[in-house]
């Protein structure tokens, strides 16, 4: 597969017209074809919009993206309605990787679930549509009889789950955080996947400590007594009396115990970092790559604004109320750069606790993107450029040895 991936990367560089690299030459970036619009949208819109929060992963040498959501008719800032999709798209990485193909449909239109690549298929967990969340789980697998990718049902979780994160290692699927039965959660589940991948047995693990984490990132490495699950990012929503909490630490589960092992690196100006809405992928050397997600300060101000308005109203501070409401009205109308999504790539070594920045690139500045690693290549699919605005871009980050 290595030679095929190298050929694919050459075509990715040619497609993008250029390929940027980190200062030390260890990291390079390229692009693959943009994800197309679903047929229901391409009938009247030729420019690809991209989606946020899709299921995605790898089936052999095929990159798969399924579901997701966007605002196809008009921007959310202008009152646009979010639309959810059920299309399953595939990009063959064994050749020139020059076109996505529509290769199936999910059981229903879904986004905001979580998914992970396993040897037997892409396990997809939960998610929601415009009306409700789901507990169902399924595995995306290629059906030779039907010449398409199909969703094979697996055991459901004991609660509905959305905006959580998942990881896989040594035959087990891990699901952490998100909303469980509609409530921000600290719950963690472990699913033991059968060797054939046709069944899974879910068991509840111990809750992780601290606040709930909606839209966290998760990675798993090792096996047996060396198995470790690494959790970062996410936030616990507040209300009119209690501010939100956005943890900036990293937790690791090992031998049935959660431990705080590190803080996320601060931003260049010293302000805190969050990985909420970002990505994490496990490396083969007991390290985890972290990237993407929202800016801590911008995001906190947005999710805490309702409480601040309520507080100002209770105090009779009409000037502050008016100012905050105006900020809320304008929040979705800023340029992409105003939101300061994270554009740097961080490598965290769990054993040593060392953090290393491998480079920066605008293709990393996404929230709600999908990411999967194959050999030394990380594929990043779609996501948001800013709240409500998606990108169809599919990027490749190559870690040169």
Using CB atoms within 10 Å of the CB of residue 13, give its burial: 0 to 12 exposed, 13 to 18 middle, 19+ buried: middle
Domain definitions of the chain by residue range: 34-40+51-399
Enumerate residues 6+ apart whose C-beta is below 8 A from 284. Answer: none
Instruction: State the DSSP string of 371-387.
Output: EEEETTEEEEE--EEET
- Residue 269 neighbours by CB distance under 10 Å: 6
Is 48 within 8 Å of 122 (Cβ atoms)?
A: no
CATH of domain 34-40+51-399: 2.120.10.80
Q: What are the structure tokens assigned to 313, written together?
A: 């109203």
CA distance 133 to 162: 6
pLDDT of residue 109: 98
The strand pair at 100-105 and 114-118 is best described as unpaired
Q: Cα torsion at 347, 349, 353, 358 (round to 10°)?
A: -20
Q: What are phi and psi of 25, to 5 degrees?
A: 80, 5
Using CB atoms within 10 Å of the CB of residue 306, give its burial: 0 to 12 exposed, 13 to 18 middle, 19+ buried: middle
**Closest Cα to residue 263, out of 254, 272, 253?**
272
Q: What are the structure tokens assigned to 156, written together?
A: 């459901």
Enumerate residues 6+ apart whose C-beta is below 8 A from 94. Answer: 1, 4, 8, 61, 62
Is 126 within 8 Å of 135 (Cβ atoms)?
A: yes
Angle at 162 between CA 101 and CA 80, to 5 degrees: 70
How much is the CA Rg of the chain, to the nearest whole Å? Answer: 20
- Residue 198 neighbours by CB distance under 10 Å: 14
Is 396 within 8 Å of 9 (Cβ atoms)?
A: yes
3-state secondary structure of 156: coil
Does pTM top 0.85 for this prediction? yes
pLDDT of residue 18: 38
pLDDT in tens, 98-146: 899 999 999 999 999 999 999 999 999 999 999 999 999 999 999 988 8
Q: What are the structure tokens assigned to 344, written together?
A: 């740097």
Enumerate residues 6+ apart whose C-beta is below 8 A from 45. Answer: 37, 72
CA distance 55 to 59: 13
Element (H, E) at 121: strand 121-125
3-state secondary structure of 310: helix
Is 389 within 8 Å of 339 (Cβ atoms)?
A: no
CA distance 156 to 145: 26
Instruction: State the DSSP string of 217-245.
Output: EEEEE--GGG-EEEEEEEEB---SSS--B
CA distance 110 to 66: 8
- What stretches in the chain show pLDDT beneath 70? 1-25, 96-97, 401
State the DSSP code for 133. B
The strand pair at 394-399 and 188-193 is best described as unpaired
CA distance 199 to 171: 11
């Amino acid at each position: 597969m290595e030679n095929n991936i190298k050929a694919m990367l050459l075509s990715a560089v040619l497609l993008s017209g250029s390929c940027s690299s980190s200062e030390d030459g260890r990291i390079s970036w390229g692009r693959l074809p943009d994800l197309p619009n679903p047929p229901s949208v391409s009938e009247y819109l030729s420019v690809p919009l991209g989606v946020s929060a899709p299921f995605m992963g790898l089936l052999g040498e095929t990159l798969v993206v399924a579901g997701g959501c966007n605002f196809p008719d008009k921007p959310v800032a202008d009152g646009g309605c979010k639309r959810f999709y059920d299309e399953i798209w595939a990009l063959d990485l064994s050749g020139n990787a020059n076109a996505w193909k529509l290769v199936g449909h999910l059981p229903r239109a879904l986004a905001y679930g979580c998914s992970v690549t396993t040897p037997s298929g892409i396990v997809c967990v939960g998610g929601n549509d415009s009306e409700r969340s789901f507990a169902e789980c399924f595995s995306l697998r290629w059906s030779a009889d039907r010449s398409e990718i199909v969703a094979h049902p697996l055991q459901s979780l004991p609660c509905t789950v959305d905006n959580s994160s998942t990881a896989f290692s040594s035959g087990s699927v891990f699901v952490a955080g998100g909303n469980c039965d509609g409530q921000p959660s600290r719950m963690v589940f472990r699913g033991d996947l059968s060797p054939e991948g046709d069944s899974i047995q879910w068991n509840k693990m111990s809750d992780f400590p601290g606040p709930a984490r909606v839209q966290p990132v998760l990675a798993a490495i090792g096996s047996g007594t060396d198995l470790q699950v690494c959790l970062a990012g996410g936030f616990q929503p507040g209300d009119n009396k209690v501010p939100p909490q956005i943890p900036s630490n990293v937790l690791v589960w090992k031998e049935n115990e959660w431990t705080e092992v590190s803080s996320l690196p601060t931003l260049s100006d010293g302000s805190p970092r969050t990985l909420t809405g970002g990505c994490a992928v496990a490396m083969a050397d007991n390290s985890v790559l972290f990237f993407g997600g929202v800016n801590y300060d911008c995001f906190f101000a947005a999710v805490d604004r309702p409480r601040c308005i309520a507080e100002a109203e209770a105090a009779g501070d009409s000037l502050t109320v008016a100012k905050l409401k105006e900020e809320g009205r304008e929040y979705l109308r800023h340029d992409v750069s105003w939101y300061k999504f994270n554009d740097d790539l961080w490598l965290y070594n769990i054993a040593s606790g060392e953090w290393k920045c491998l480079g920066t690139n605008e293709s990393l500045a996404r929230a709600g993107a999908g990411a999967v690693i194959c050999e030394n290549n990380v594929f990043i699919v779609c996501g948001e450029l800013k709240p409500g605005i998606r990108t169809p871009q599919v990027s490749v980050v190559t870690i040169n040895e």
